[in-house]
Chains A and B, each alone.
Chain A
Amino acid sequence: MVTDKESQICIVTVTGKDKVGIIANLSIAMSKANINIVDVNQKIMEDYFVMTMACDMAKATINMEQIQKRLDRIAKNMSLNITFQHEKIFKMMHRI
């Protein structure tokens, strides 16, 4: 789990084919775990539909591993690729 000191923002990334219900399904999963969605963006890149969703885990009732399992189920049911990562990895890799 994330510690108290650092930011608890995690990024959900969805890649695949755009379809009805992606945001709905993700929102339901997040709200059930008391995770607040703080930002959503989407774009078409290299023929992929890409959506990113920033979530605040500060008051989450489950840990990252558990939310990942729930997202894996959504990914399987909707034939999408969904990853869930702490935002620090992106900041480290893309900011000097």
Chain B
Amino acid sequence: MSITVEEVFETVNMTVHQHFDIRTVTLGINLKDCMDRDLTKFCNRIYKRIVEKGKLLNIYADKIQHKYGIPITNRRISVTPVSLLLEPLPRTTKAAVRVVKTLDKAASNAGIDFLGGFGAMVQKGMTSSDENLIKSIPEALSKTKRVCGFLNLASTQAGMNMTAISEFGHILKKLAAMTKDGIGCAKIAVFANVPEDNPFMAGANHGVGEPDFSLNIGISGPGVVRNVIASNPDCDLTALSEVIKGTVFKITRAGELIGREMAEQMKVDFGIVDISLASTTAKGDSVAQIIEAMGVSVMGRPGSTAALALLIDAVKKGGAMASGNVGGLSGTFIPVSEDDGMIKAVKSGALNLEKLEALTSVCSVGLDMFAVPGNTPAEVLSAIIADELAIGVANNKTTSVRVIPVPGKRSGQMVHFGGLLGSAPIMKVPKIAAPDFIARQGRIPAPIKALRN
């Protein structure tokens, strides 16, 4: 059956007027075979591989975006978790920082804006290499531009590493103090149940279960979904769910086509399509505005959690029908600073940190890109992280936290990060949370649902 004018118009309208794009193509690269006890030899090997593959990634992404007329906004690389690669090397900050600088330079030379994987899987315990990496985070991320970090601090199978969570509060404070407006903290996310094939930053990494190379696609399209909801103002919620499913099916199919074809051309494995709705600060590209289009007065007010639950379920059902390779985070991102509707909701008082946490329990990926006063104590940061990760552990899902304590700012003020990272109102947090609880350290045991075998 030939394609009708209406169908062509629908697709063209999505890209031209509703910001539909392939948000990222992320090439996962295994670096385990580059490991060496000689730091220079190791750095030379990883540099060569990343530059070579990164340049190819850009060439093929350009070609395919011309062919299909769908913009591929970001081209990124994820690598083997770096703490693993540091194992044979001296346990010094100097060694870790040199590796991160090499990754940064390689990304820059290859024309890649962000490279993920500077991180560790420490949900249960830490090797001395993991400890060294965590200690190096402030210097490594403040002295580089393109490298992103992640830590998996908890999982449903292992429980929560409260020793690492407690330490990470102090690491965040140090990193914030070393970068303008604490912006370095935007480059690191901590997780419960981190996926090993996530194409989105800051948490992208190429996990140990992955092949040598794997091409992962992050689709987007909050604008497309908002538009279809707005053009169905009178249908009931069952019908609305169907409408969202149908739309997400279409945009996921575009991602599947582009990922599969690009992987074939690059002669690498096709990994997954991540069907997360990812907002940007561009007009209309907001998840909060989707919730409002569904009929909630302001994102954050009662009704938001139910609306978000409906949205994500419909997104997952449409995406799963469209691709057999759905993976990564596949949630709905509600970053505060990168979403116009979220910024407005916080400013108006409709959305506070507590409601944001509640929203993340039904579907979304976590507390993302929110700013708090610079003088927030480390234990409060750790306690916020512990609460959010507990939601992931108990509900068998991924949750993450990316929080920015902005030095010198008080709640109610604004901070402007610029570019993709947007700007954020400083959210109110208490000055004391759970100091004695956090100071106990140790591990919160895995929940009973971990005993599934």
Question: Which residues does A use to contact B, with CB under 8 Å?
Answer: 2, 11, 13, 15, 39, 41-43, 45, 48, 50-52, 54, 64-65, 68, 81, 83-95
**8 interchain pairs (CB within 8 A)?**
A2-B67, A11-B3, A41-B5, A68-B66, A83-B15, A86-B67, A88-B68, A89-B254
**Chain A contacts for B68, CB-based, 8 A:** 85-86, 88-89
Q: Is the CB of B69 within 8 A of A90?
A: no
Partner of A50, one of B9, B254, B256: B9
B448 interfacial by beta-carbon distance below 8 Å = no
Question: How distant is the Cα of A85 from the Cα of B3 in the complex, in angstroms?
Answer: 13
Question: How distant is the Cα of A39 from the Cα of B69 in the complex, in angstroms?
Answer: 20
B55 interfacial by beta-carbon distance below 8 Å = no
- 8 Å CB interface, B1-24 against A: 1-12, 15-16
B70 interfacial by beta-carbon distance below 8 Å = yes
Partner of B5, one of A42, A68, A87: A42
Known: A15-B16, A94-B250. A65 touches B66 (CB 8 A): yes
- 8 Å CB interface, B242-265 against A: 250-251, 253-254, 256-257
Partner of A64, one of B66, B253, B256: B66
Overall SS of chain A's interface = strand
Question: How distant is the Cα of A2 from the Cα of B66 in the complex, in angstroms?
Answer: 11
Question: How distant is the Cα of A45 from the Cα of B9 in the complex, in angstroms?
Answer: 9
Q: Is the CB of A91 within 8 A of B9?
A: no
Question: How distant is the Cα of A15 from the Cα of B254 in the complex, in angstroms?
Answer: 21
Question: How distant is the Cα of A48 from the Cα of B67 in the complex, in angstroms?
Answer: 24
**Chain A contacts for B6, CB-based, 8 A:** 43, 45
Distance in angstroms from A37 CB to nearest chain B CB is: 14
Distance in angstroms from A17 CB to nearest chain B CB is: 15
Distance in angstroms from B419 CB to nearest chain A CB is: 26
Distance in angstroms from A2 CB to nearest chain B CB is: 7
**Chain B contacts for A68, CB-based, 8 A:** 66
1/0 per position for B197-241, CB-CB distance to A under 8 A? 000000000000000000000000000000000000000000000
Distance in angstroms from B142 CB to nearest chain A CB is: 40
Question: How distant is the Cα of A15 from the Cα of B15 in the complex, in angstroms?
Answer: 13
Known: A64-B67, A83-B69. A93 touches B9 (CB 8 A): no
* Nearest chain A residue, comparing its CB with the CB of B253: A92
Closest 8 CB pairs of A and B: A85-B69, A89-B68, A93-B250, A94-B7, A90-B3, A92-B257, A92-B253, A41-B5
